[in-house]
A = this chain, B = another copy of it.
């Protein structure tokens, strides 16, 4: 009986969409939960909600932010996001954190780390409970972005940690990619992985305050030099290095300036729309790849045979191509029944 009552409470796609478009935060939250669900009923409903929200999406500034743990991402987003709302923007904060299975949702896991923003009526913070493979997490984040945009948020912040591939993913879904660094250049690149620095549209040296200010200035020179070693971006944009103290709230206006200068330039030279269009094509290919490979690797027969084939390859009894062919044939036969 209770179950039946609960079922009745389930909103229709139209109710979801009406709620989202009116800016109802509770319904937006519910819709994102729906998108993040792994139940197949929820999937169908979520896709319908997304389809109806699509025409109202796409008009925000999509900002990606990364940096190693401890660099002060939460403090930065709290201060920077607050500044944006004071300028009249509506700010939504999402996270792509495929590692959360291990780290137990370290990113945004604690809303209190964004104390001001979490109580700000013009901001929407979505903690990251999403678990699973990067492909799956990415798809869900992109869909959540669409819902937030339909709900009227015109500035999206997508946060991730420096775990390698997730930066590539976040880079592929944002208009501008920001890399937060600590004021200690000359040390190892602070765990920042392959090419992350090259993907950045701007570097921010956070914690540029007090005793660190001198170090930060030296780091700025070092990072500026390092950035010059990379090939020039096709858009013509030269990533700047900016000094910020999220704690003392210095340097934030310069960040906003940089972002909107970038947007103005890229809208003018056509790179804004080009990047978005490339991303759309990329998303389709990635969705196909993700959904096709998920179907394949989650098939019980494939799961059963895979480790045997891996062993055969390691022992040089089978080539990868042979193993792949055998597994694919097995999957096709099993699916046909």
Contacts and interface: CB of A to CB of B under 8 A. Distances in A.
Number of copies: 2
Max count, chain B CB within 10 A of own CB: residue among A230, A292, A325? A292
A298 to B, nearest CB: 13
Interface of A is mostly: helix
Number of chain A interface residues as a range: 35 or more
A319 B229 contact: no
Interface stretch (A49-57, A89-97, A247-255): A49-57
B322 A47 contact: yes
Nearest to A277: B314
A234 to B, nearest CB: 13
Interface in A47-69: 47, 50-51, 54-55, 57-58
A156 to B, nearest CB: 16
A316 B54 contact: yes
B51 A318 contact: yes
Contacts of A292: 292-293, 296, 324, 328
Interface of A: 47, 50-51, 54-55, 57-58, 139, 142-143, 146, 185, 188-189, 191-195, 198-199, 226, 228-232, 277, 280-281, 283-284, 286-293, 295-296, 306, 309-310, 313-314, 316-325, 327-328, 332, 335-336
